Amino acid sequence: MGDMTYILVANGIVSGSGYSPATPFDIYVNAMGREEAGTAGNTDILVFHGSTDAPTVDIYETTAGELINDLAYGEFDTDYLELPTADYSLEVRDETGTTVVAGYLAPLATLALNDSALVAVASGFLDPASNSEGPAFGIWVALPMGGNLIELPKSTVSTEDILSRQIDLQIWPNPASEDLTISFTLDKAYEISMDILNITGQMMMSRELGPRSIGSHTETIDVSNFREGLYLLRFRSDNNITTSKIKVAR
């Protein structure tokens, strides 16, 4: 029990009117959570169906075929998908597998999510007009280190578009021995956080920077206690992730 990782999803409708169907609120628990991929170089993904007005669905990858069969509302998939870290194009289909409900990009490589274990939640409404104009159907991803959920872009958005939304980071000195300075410029206000992971995916540092306004900003990180080697800086701005390699040397 003490070594288990639990995943909890709070989902459903709390209002007594304005939603069809008005599936009651509940908390869904999975006791087989992971915090990292089972195999180096993979990204493991556990999928949960939380869209109250969506039917039972299948999930396909456009080149690999069916990944998940007959996932109903309130269900986790039977196990994690264990995928080589790459950029994928996904289709949510009805349970017959013939009608595409929506398509999404899963840019696992672009976002440097190798060796990570994620939870993907299908949420929102297929018919917002019948559900108090709530958010439209989509897929959101929870990262093992927490923070804001990352919304998967519709497949009409290209990987280049995702890259263009990333923040331009200036990092110096790199390699660093004591203090690492990070500067960035925002074109709009964001909630900012950043993590540093070692090459095995272990979290070395996590820092919530909070809201940052439009303009230029600078942060300093003390890496004097880090061992020499390569690390990954993961910089999060709302639903966007920018990554950069850093090196500690003495």
Collapse the DSSP code of 2 into the 3-class scheme (helix H, G, I; strand E, B; otherwise coil) and give the result: coil
Q: What is the pLDDT of residues 204-243, one digit of tens each?
A: 898 999 999 999 999 999 999 999 888 888 888 876 778 7
Question: CA angle, corner 244, sides to 206 and 108, nearest 5?
Answer: 85
Q: Rounded CA gap, 44 and 54, in Å?
A: 24
Nearest Cα to 153, choosing from 86, 107, 101? Answer: 107
Residue 155 to residue 161: CA distance in whole angstroms: 11
Mean of all residue pLDDT scores within the chain: 89
Q: What is the pLDDT of residues 97-150, one digit of tens each?
A: 988 888 998 989 888 888 999 999 999 999 999 999 999 999 999 987 777 788
Please tell me the predicted confidence (pLDDT) of residue 164.
53
Q: What is the dihedral of CA 57, 60, 65, 71, to 10 degrees?
A: -30
Q: What is the per-residue burial (b if ≥16 Cβ within 10 Å, else e) of 43-66?
A: bbbbbbbbbbbbeebbbbbeeeee
Coil, strand or helix: which one is 160? helix
Whether the CB-CB separation of 27 and 7 falls below 8 Å is answered with no
> 140 near 121, Cβ under 8 Å?
yes
211 within 8 A of 199, measured Cβ to Cβ:
no
User: 163-186, pLDDT tens digit by residue?
Assistant: 556 677 899 999 999 999 999 998
Q: Which amino acid is at 214?
A: I
Residue type, 141: V
For residue 108, give both structure tokens.
Answer: 């696992």
Confidence class for position 201, pLDDT limits 50, 70, 90? low
Min mean pLDDT across 19-23, 25-29, 85-89 is at 85-89
pTM over 0.85: no
Residue at 76: amino acid letter: F
Rounded CA-CA distance 58/245 in Å is: 36
User: Of the candidates 46, 179, 194, which has an alpha carbon nearest to the alpha carbon of residue 121?
Assistant: 46
Q: Are 32 and 68 in contact (CB under 8 A)?
A: no
pLDDT number for residue 233: 87
End-to-end CA distance of the chain: 42
Residue with tokens 């969506």: 54
Q: Which amino acid is at 232?
A: L
pLDDT higher for 121 or 161? 121
CATH 2.60.40.1930 assigned to domain 165-248? The reply is yes
In the chain, where the domains are located: 7-160, 165-248
